[in-house]
Amino acid sequence: EGSATVTLRLLSGAERRLRVEVEDSSSALPRRREPQDDGVSGRGLLLVDMLADAWGVEARGGGKAVWCEFRVDPDG
């Protein structure tokens, strides 16, 4: 519900990482659910958990940001 802001950032350091953040104004924390076979929801965090190298949730003012990071191979 409502609007969300998506931000992509390339982080440097010992390992380069791509960080994806989705920020919204809801303070309700997301929860991972098991989707129904014929359902159309409940797959977001399941996919993030399976594909990302790390992920989490941060409080932001009255809302939150759900983030995930992917290691970037410098050789392509």
* Within-domain flag for 76: no
* Within-domain flag for 28: yes
* Within-domain flag for 65: yes
* Within-domain flag for 39: yes
Q: Is the pTM of this model over 0.75?
A: yes
| Structural domain span for residue 21 | 4-71
Number of compact structural domains in the chain: 1
CB-count burial class (<10 Å; 0-12, 13-18, 19+) for 70: middle
Q: What is the mean pLDDT of each run of 10 residues along the chain (76 residues)?
A: 89 92 91 74 84 94 94 79
- The CA distance from 62 to 24, in Å, is 9
Which neighbouring-strand residues pair with 71?
17
